[in-house]
Structure 1
Amino acid sequence: MTARLLFVHAHPDDESLATGVAIAHHVAAGDEVHVLTCTLGEQGEVIPPELAHLDADHEDTLGEYRRDELRAAMAAIGAHHRVLGEDLASGRASRWRDSGMAGTAGAQHPRAWVRADDDVAVEAVTEVITEIEPDVVVSYDAHGGYAHPDHIRTHEVTRWAVSALPEGRRPHLFGTFTPRSWAEEDRRVLASMPGLTELGWQQPAGEFPPSVVADEVVTHAVVDADAVDQQVAALRHHRTQVTLGPDRTFALSNDIAALLSGREGYARLDPATGQPLECGSEPRRALVER
């Protein structure tokens, strides 16, 4: 039995970083996998110096460049993809714009995703869900992974869209979470890796982001080491945002080392509240029950 899955993300590269293992795993399983991206990531920081002119403080053409990165990444991983509100016939690349990190000026732009009218945004996402008719919809937890305003907005709009559907046509809604034991293990693995400081990278330290939760909250998982090769193939195309290192490591513009561990945690969310539906000690289940 094949399944249909829809991953809803805020910016290009989020899909490959946060859910790339699940996307690659389900593509390899023969499932129909769709990615919906809500903005083009116009406010992102640019890593390669030769592309710095693209950013919002200079040419402000980063969104179009990242759209091409997304196209190439999804071709590499094998998923269908679209940008929310994109209209190729009229030349509109997206309806809404990246709002930037909390406290930055990007949120004041009239097209900023965080300023989108609730009803209009929900209708746009509902149209996509209704067209695709997925069995499963995956987005962020209520904190947006690491409290990025666009991630939180994407979580809100996605769950409102799912909640608005008739109960019999409502897909399962999942949020992304990381069990604390996994996050702690990843830090130990990174600490034992030689050569990362030579790249100018720092070891992760301090408090974990809000999406790292008690192990029992994470009731579903995709664990597939083989999927990492396809995840890496996708991430190679997101070069404005991601630097790939040795042994399945990577860093963002903050130069903090991270690990592509071949495993991702999830929990079913209550569309009405955005909170995980259940906790327990049972073995973690797959996103799709076969």
Structure 2
Amino acid sequence: MTEPQQRLLLVHAHPDDETIGTGATMAKYLAEGRGVTLVTCTAGEMGEILVPELEHLAADREDRLGEHRKGEIADAMAALATPDGRMIDHRWLGGFGTYRDSGMQWHPDGYAIPADTLHDNAFWKADLTQAADHLVAIVREVRPQVLVTYDQFGNYGHPDHIQAHRVAMYAAQLAAVPSYRKDLGEAWDITKIYWLAMSEGRMREGLRAVRAAGDTTAFEGLDPEGPLPMTTPDEDLAAAVDATAYADQKMAAMRAYPTQITVDGPFFALSNNLGNQVWGTEHFRIAKGTLGPVGPDGLETDLFAGL
């Protein structure tokens, strides 16, 4: 099989993160014949379980949620596949079970912080170089021109998101050094690196629509006219990938995570009130590389622009 000329690598912390943040972009690029490789760092073992009949899988009971979410992400990848069956190349960092979901708790100011107690192999406690080396091997094998991960705050403070950022950024540096760990493959320099982002303007628009429709529970506590700390000011955005044609696939992939996402929850409330455009256009900040041609709004429409 011929290797795709353009190749995208995404590094996410837990199953479902990839679909919520980048699912439409992944489906679009796969359909266009580009290479799409997803690396998931943990199996999300510490996630909250929203399905009562599956609560026995929780970490403080049978501790089998990771295996269940392994099945959920497989179903999500199937939902994002092409009609002819081409699939996203999905990997677990270091192999399934190497790193465990670290868990989190909420700071009074509304962002995530590490849990008080961490498991021995919690991703937050991982040796940075060792974890990065697992990714270096993938980078040198796949040879992506574009890498997507979180910002330095993990977008909202979750320790595993922050660690995924650190591992991805460090691995990108190490993979480009010809003399570093030659046993992991030939050096490869990733041309463009993006941090995924949530548009502040788009989020405000969505919240206004939800509130106007009479829904006061979706994204409870968030004021469309007040601070939105998890969003990125629109002037800091670099790219907006319009993948609205693939939004239905993204929503189907989100439904593949019943333990984490409810169909009557905030994500679907936004979609119901704004239509496919709310989840079909995904935004990014550029962290490395040069912007290619941009549209009238000053944003790239393609992460491979200029390559």
TM range (shorter): 0.7 to 0.9
Instruction: Provide the identity percentage.
Output: 35
The 8 Å contact of residues 4 and 134 in structure 1, kept in 2 or not, is answered as yes
2:93 equivalent among 84, 91, 114: 84
Give TM-score, length-normalised by structure 2: 0.79
Distance, in Å, in 2 between the alignment partners of 1:250 and 1:5 is 30
Q: Distance in 2 between matches of 1:220 and 1:269?
A: 11
Q: State the match for 2:206 in structure 1.
A: 186
1:131 is aligned to 141
Distance 1:2 1:59 in 2: 45
Q: Give CA deviations for 1:128-185 in whole Å, capped at 9, x if unaligned.
A: 1111111111000111011101000100110011112327832121101123211211
Distance in 1 between the 2:102 and 2:266 partners? Answer: 33
Residues paired across the two proteins, number = 268
Cα distance between partner residues in 2 of 1:38 and 1:70:
13
The alpha-carbon deviation at position 203 of structure 1 amounts to: 4.1
The DSSP-based 3-state class of the residue aligned with 1:208 is coil
- Alignment of 1:153 with 2:169, yes or no, is no
Aligned-partner SS, 1:249: helix
Q: Deviations over 1:96-152 (max 9, x none)?
A: 10001124245x211000100111011011111111111111000111011101000
Q: 1:202 to 1:6 in 2, by over 3 A?
A: closer
Asked whether the 8 Å contact 1:16–1:234 carries over to 2, the reply is yes
Aligned to 1:261: 279
Q: Tell me by how many angstroms 1:191 deviates.
A: 1.5
Give the unaligned 5+ runs of structure 2: 82-87, 105-112, 178-186, 271-275
Task: Pick the aligned partner of 1:104 from 95, 100, 115.
Answer: 115
Q: Which moved more, 1:172-181 or 1:144-153?
A: 172-181
Do residues 52 (structure 1) and 55 (structure 2) align? yes
Partner of 1:119: 129
Output the TM-score relative to the length of structure 1: 0.84
SS, match of residue 261 in structure 1: helix
Alignment match of 2:234 (pick from 210, 215, 219):
215
Report the CA distance shift for 1:67/1:125 in structure 2 as closer, same or farther (over 3 A).
same
Tell me the SS of whatever aligns to 2:156. helix
Change (3 A) 1:232 1:179: closer
Alpha-carbon separation, structure 1, partners of 2:38 and 2:58: 24
Give the aligned partner of residue 288 of structure 1: 304
1:193 CA displacement: 2.8
Does the 8 Å contact 2:14/2:41 carry over to 1? yes
Q: Does 1:144 align with 2:150?
A: no
Tell me, yes or no, if structure 1 residue 169 matches structure 2 residue 193. no
Shift, 1:25, TM fit: 1.5
Deviation at 1:282, TM superposition (A): 6.2
RMSD of aligned C-alpha atoms? 2.8
